[in-house]
Amino acid sequence: MAIWDNMPQGELNDTLFLLKEYQIGVGRAGKKYLTLTLATKEGEIDAKLWDEVASIEPELARNVPVRVSGILGSYRDKPQITIRSIQRLQWNDDLFTELVPASRFPRSALEPAIRALLGTVRDAWIKGAATALLEMPQVSDAYFEAPAAKGMHHAYLRGLSEHSLSMMRLADLAFGHFERLYPGLLCRDELIFGAFVHDLGKVVEYTYLEGIDISLRGRLVGHLAVGLMLLNDAIRTMPGFPEPTADRLRHLILAHHGEPEKGSPVWPITAEALLLHHIDHLDAEINSLAGLVAQSGSDDMTTFNTKFGRRFINPNGATPYTWKAETEPPAEPVAAEPVPAVTAPVQQPTPAEEVAAEPLPAVTAPVQQPTPAEEVAAEPLPAVPAPVQQPTPAEEVAADPTPEAGAEGESSADASRPRGRPKKVPSGPSLF
């Protein structure tokens, strides 16, 4: 649902908002005006204040609750409020609950799930580091309450723990998939721990008790450095912690942005760090897109997003997706007739009921048709001749010497029969 879907068109009276951003502009005639970004839990909306800027601007601040009256209209096909009056309010519990967005998942669901996944870590040193981190005063509560960002992704209370849990589950699934393809390439313990710890520094980087904002230490140091410091503090509580393991865990924090241009001081150079970076990016992108769709109401397209640099088709729009229409289940499912098997477009398989009555023929190669399994069992396989002349295998020669092809006493059927067993091709690991 878009933020403006809950607002009456036209007049707005004493409507509560969170003032996220504002800036002063100057018109052509030299008159000052204010451009503001207002927010509710449903999203953000632009606003303009044209009059009395000099008296109102000193009372404003970012991330404060405000009461607004004005007119809801649009500008360049985008909703916009023309403010008639705006009043700054003081934070209280009711306003905090009303205006500050939060994860739809409570801490009572997020925390046990995170702790349970950390409990599956087998390496005692890595598991011990996770336990030590969760016992730190800076981490024990803030990790499960802090946002993951101010405006990019998971920018709401408990966003950090929701994002981390999502990544831990994705990391677990990815490990299971790639372990079948490339056994031994990845360490599951490092993946689970890395997903848990990669954004740990955000417990200090963001403030959230009076709206979501970046702390002074967060601006000065940043969450990668803060997370590294917290990890080092945890490691120091465990005498004898292996330094190579410690460095690999540090690398997961330092490299998870992927490249220096995006804030990482080092490139990912372990398989775990590379996969962690892509999982982080994937989870953040999908969360941002979900928020964009939620703010678009029933419009067929989302609003333009500067992060993505484009608009997206809205799956909840008034015009349904083609795939939704095609996969719509029938209003009255037919129970008397079984659903036929899905068939390939070229080769139509025998229906299931007919196949059950008649055994399937053996699958044959396109050129050479092998002898059916039941006939082969009753008659030993003859040797396959080489391009020039292959000698009879030793075991068959010892039992009953076979004359060469075309020799006297050999029938034409014997001469044309292939000799020897085909070479067995070793099978690789099963994907599933």
The length of the chain in residues reads 432
Q: Compute the distance between CA of residue 416 and CA of residue 379 in angstroms, rounded to an integer.
A: 16
**pLDDT above 50 for 111:** yes
Tell me the per-residue pLDDT of 341-396, one tens digit each, with 9 for 90 and over: 544 444 555 544 454 445 544 544 444 555 444 444 445 544 544 444 555 544 44
Terminal CA-CA length for the chain: 40
Residues 273-297 have pLDDT tens digits of 999 999 999 999 999 888 888 877 7
Q: Under DSSP, is residue 22 helix (H, G, I), strand (E, B) or coil?
A: strand
Question: Band of the pLDDT at 210, cuts 50, 70, 90?
Answer: confident
Q: How many Å apart are CA 28 and CA 12, to the nearest integer?
A: 28
| Backbone φ and ψ of 97, nearest 5° | -65, -35
pLDDT for the residue 422: 42
pLDDT tops 60 at residue 147: yes
Whole-prediction pTM value? 0.68
In this prediction, residues 99-113 reach a mean pLDDT of 93
The encoded tokens of residue 158 equal 């408990």
Q: Which residues are within 8 A (CB) of 207 and not within 5 positions of it... i.e. 6 or more apart? A: 213, 214, 215
**270 pLDDT more than 80:** yes
Q: Quote the CA–CA distance of 405 and 386 in Å, as a whole number.
A: 12
d(CA 162, CA 202): 13
Residues 154, 385: Cα–Cα separation, whole Å: 68
DSSP string, 230-250: HHHHHHHTSTT--HHHHHHHH
Instruction: Give exposure, 265-287, as e/b (b: 16+ Cβ within 10 Å).
Output: eeebebebbbbbbebbeebbeeb
24 touches 64 (CB < 8 A): no
412 has pLDDT over 50: no
326-341, pLDDT tens digit by residue? 555 555 544 545 544 5
Angle between helices 124-134 and 188-197 (to 10 degrees): 10
Q: Count of CB atoms within 10 A of residue 330's CB?
A: 6
Q: Which structural domains are found in the chain, ordered by start?
A: 3-99 (2.40.50.140), 107-294 (no CATH)
